[in-house]
Structure 1
Amino acid sequence: MTTGPANSALSADLRYVIYALSDALDLVGIDDLAHGKRVGIMAAECARWQGLDPEEVLFLFDFGLLHDIGVSSTVTHGHLVSEFDWESSQLHCETGYLLLRDFAPLADMALPVRFHHTHWDALLAQGVDAQVARRANQIYLVDRVDALAAPHYADGSLLMQTERIRTEIAARAGTYFSPELVTLFLETSRSESFWLNLEPRSIQSYLNDMRARGRTQRVTLAELKQLATIFSRIVDAKSPFTAEHSLGVARLARFFGERLGVPPARCDQLEIAGLLHDIGKLRVPDEILDKPAKLDERERKMMNAHSFETYQILRLIPGFEEIALWAAYHHEQPGGDGYPFRIDGGRLCLEARILRVADIFQAMAQDRPYRAGLPADAVRSFMEEMRSQGRVDGEVLAVALADMPAAMAAARPGVAAH
């Protein structure tokens, strides 16, 4: 068997993790991959104009990047960018709050996320803490600015629409938005530069500048696992077909790794790779993920791009270089016929081969809306057929076949092996 060196305990800079994972959230836009970034930029520009301290500017920028952490559905995202307000707008806010409230490094964002679609007059009536209310309403305001601007990014007509957008925001002062924040926005957005910052090239430059200004904040292995779990829940919530899939893959991958002698530090990395392996699926439209019938060629091409999207997100986090590759390779096959890189099996390290087997094994054992999870004997038969076709690694699969009760329990706790 082949593994890499036994690395010391993994850690990472939270700033790089935030920026990389904001890319994942923006994937839900499918054709518009910068909503969160534009919201963060506008919030930071308003805060700078007001003269807030650099830490608060940075907080509002990061909050803008992650404010839609409760959104995984392309349908929900469609409402966000096409309607000013809608009946179910609070659902993703509550989801985001529940995801963040127990994650200490980002817990200060939890309540602002909860209230970032709550009208200003309602915030006052509910007696929401003043700082929470102001932060939430600042993001709500610029979030709605981006919704009004969204139809005009592609054709370059935004500068012709800015006065109309400013007028629509001003009309909602005192109801939707704090009058003070509306005034601040109107002052800040008078300049063309405010709007030109929202163009793709300017966005990347802005991100680079903010990354350089932010202080390094190391997160521990336990915190990285917790954050990876948060994002696995976002991915798994995207479709009833994938509920808890990422968690099961992570457990099963660790089980295989330990049985195959992978060092503990690399098992930790393997577990994180399992949690995040499908993060690229956030860009797959809901109707494709939820389709119970066979995908057509166009749909299959869109689905097959998800593991490359996973790689593009995770590779940007220093320290995640191997995790990114393992996660990206989970659809590569021993014979080189997998996707998206078509890598020959001889070049696949053990950890990548483990994720491949864990991904398929867990999917077979898991309940789906259109079928119950397969029993152990059916999973065994299916996986053995995959091995005979050269589509999964025999060394890894042998671990599962040698102890099916333990493998089934790792894939899906509570399932009886029979």
Structure 2
Amino acid sequence: MYQSRFSVFDQNDSFDKSRLSEILGAFSYALDLTEGQTAGHSIRACWIGTQIAMALGMKGEALRDVYYAVLLKDLGCSSNAARVSELFVGDDRKLKRDFKLLGPRPEDLGEYIATAVGADAEADVREQALGNIAENGGAILTEMMATRCERGADIARQLRFSEDVAQAILHLDEHWDGSGLPLGVAGTDIHLGGRIALLAQVADVFYSARGKDAALAEIRNRSGSWLDPQLCALFEKLSDASGFWEELALDDLPEQLWALEPAAQYITVDENYLDDISLAFGRVIDAKSPFTAGHSERVGVIADKIAEKLGMDDRRRRALRRAATLHDVGKLGVSSAILEKPGKLDAEEWQAMQGHAQHTTNILGQIGVMSDMAMIAGSHHERLDGKGYPLGLDERSIGLESRIITVADIYDALTADRPYRSAMSSEKAMEILQGEVGSAVDQRCFAALQAVLEQGLPE
């Protein structure tokens, strides 16, 4: 029985049983949002990668490592979102989606840059961006890919995965012929899990956008350049088998993927592990913007301290802290061009920004052990006077936990730098919050925050 990094328990255990694959699979939809991919991309890629790994004869720990490396290959994807938007002057989610559909030739990249950079920007802004890419593009792209891959590997370690999973994610964008980034390693020096993950990614990106024939053609096209030719031959053989593409399109593919999880006993996702998962995805959320470093964890801490002042019991506080840490997971689905905009948002941009709260509810609602916190976390922009979003709830239907997160979120946002203003002092932030008491801010929660600040927030 595989027990090297996770506890496995039998079905008579009293703890709420949830597969780790189901929990992380639900979070993978947030990664798909960040990359501009169709919902379920990570799950489909994981299914493809697992089929390849099993065909290679991989079992047990080695198979499990490939399974999770492919499912979580995009853990670091949010870390370059703002840079992509800034460098290419546009919607990072669309830019990333279109970038993955490029052919493997250098001239394909050149054509993409010529058409995609600043497509909706003023002529002078577009020219400046093109000039910057011409002069510094190679170094910037290498740096962005290094940040993405290294952060993804680090978060995989935080999620208690092996160094093999971390190394596979680190090598995701390396190419068989050595032309990849950021390390430029080649051939079998690329981690096998990374080679499988890249092939699975290419296959699903083209399958989802253009169909199975396009996916097969692209795998053949990249065999020996981007992709391991032996893996490509194996993929082609697998994809010729009856039912391969039909199964990939099934509505219940996620459930079938959970059943494929190696050593299929339930993994104990206990309270401590749920804390680690929440903090890890808090890092994914905050990497989306250079202005939000540490925001999710700080909101979790502040919310917890407010709840303590209000006499909330330890179990309820722990769940609240996770909800507060994950309150902005839906922002992974918002373009960095909107999140980083220094001026006022127009009506369409504001609508997109407001959508993040519903994304949060939807993502957390898919996770059995976290479903109770979905509405709590997704309601942090609701107001007591009914003028909030996304549902326009009022004081009759906004729970205490959501009221706590609202106060903690506003306070931390006001006391941190934002694209449109510098950080405020604690005193100024509390003055603004005081003015919102009774309309957006709960009086008891505000008073509890005052008491917390008098004692001092933990470092």
TM more than 0.5:
yes
Q: Distance in 1 between matches of 2:31 and 2:39?
A: 9
Match runs of 1:118-267 below 5 Å? 118-120=174-176, 122=178, 133-152=191-210, 158-170=211-223, 172=224, 175-191=225-241, 193-199=243-249, 202=250, 204-213=251-260, 214-267=264-317
Q: Secondary structure at the match of 2:291?
A: helix
Matched AA of 2:222? I
Q: 1:84 to 1:406 in 2, by over 3 A?
A: farther
Q: Distance in 2 between matches of 1:239 and 1:328?
A: 20
Give the one of 17, 39, 48 matched to 1:42: 48
Is contact 1:90-1:117 (8 Å) kept? no
Deviations 1:248-302 (A, max 9, x none): 1111101101111010111111111111110011000110111121111111111
Q: Which moved more, 1:249-258 or 1:69-78?
A: 69-78
1:364 aligned residue: 414
Q: Distance in 2 between matches of 1:320 and 1:355?
A: 16
Give the one of 56, 65, 83 matched to 2:102: 83
Q: Distance in 2 between matches of 1:9 and 1:374?
A: 44
Q: Secondary structure at the match of 1:118?
A: coil
Is contact 1:81-1:150 (8 Å) kept? no
Deviations 1:143-175 (A, max 9, x none): 2233444541xxxxx2443552243033x2xx4
Q: Secondary structure at the match of 2:324?
A: helix
Q: CA deviation at 1:362?
A: 1.0
Q: Secondary structure at the match of 2:100?
A: helix
Q: 1:46 to 1:304 in 2, by over 3 A?
A: same
Q: CA deviation at 1:312?
A: 1.1
Q: Distance in 2 between matches of 1:295 and 1:287?
A: 10
Match runs of 1:200-349 below 5 Å? 202=250, 204-213=251-260, 214-349=264-399
Matched AA of 1:392? V
1:18 aligned residue: 24
Is contact 2:66-2:193 (8 Å) kept? yes
Q: 1:282 to 1:192 in 2, by over 3 A?
A: farther
For structure 1, the 5+ residue unaligned runs are 1-7, 153-157, 414-418
Give the one of 397, 400, 418 matched to 2:449: 400
1:69 aligned residue: 75
Q: Secondary structure at the match of 2:288?
A: coil
Matched AA of 1:134? L
What is the aligned-residue RMSD (CA, Å)? 3.0
For structure 2, the 5+ residue unaligned runs are 1-13, 82-91, 110-140
Q: Distance in 2 between matches of 1:9 and 1:269?
A: 15
Deviations 1:230-250 (A, max 9, x none): 111111111123222111111
Q: Percent identity?
A: 28
Q: CA deviation at 1:126?
A: 6.2
Q: Distance in 2 between matches of 1:137 and 1:215?
A: 27
1:385 aligned residue: 435
Q: Secondary structure at the match of 2:312?
A: coil
Matched AA of 1:257? A
Is contact 1:241-1:368 (8 Å) kept? yes
Q: Distance in 1 between matches of 2:231 and 2:371?
A: 41
Matched AA of 1:81? K
Q: Distance in 1 between matches of 2:218 and 2:188?
A: 29
Q: CA deviation at 1:314?
A: 1.1
Q: Secondary structure at the match of 2:384?
A: coil
Matched AA of 1:146? D
